[in-house]
Structure 1
């Protein structure tokens, strides 16, 4: 499994945008389709809300392929 760490400098990021900036998908639309397919988990729970607010400390897993750990950017 590939583990990625993504820093965000805002309070949260939309799930589909996180998938895009982490390189898992090429566009926000592809991120929405991936979430809708049911293979995305947030903190171990299946997530179907495409624009769910992902905050630092949360872990997003895509199938058994990729794990994205979200951290706050250093001030």
Structure 2
């Protein structure tokens, strides 16, 4: 597999994933991914993307509950 950005070889490794949204920040340090040997660009497979999306949906629900509470 060749990287779309750096045109280097993609190798199975782990990569960080960070997201800033809806008033919160999440960072995972070591998600399985294909990583370009030239530029370091990660490519996450569908399974990992699905897990990330499910986790973010849960955080969105809990954050919505937390921020909608009145004191």
TM-score, structure 1 normalization: 0.24
Larger gyration radius, structure 1 or structure 2: 2
Larger RCO (CA under 8 A, 6+ residues apart): 1
Higher helix share: 2
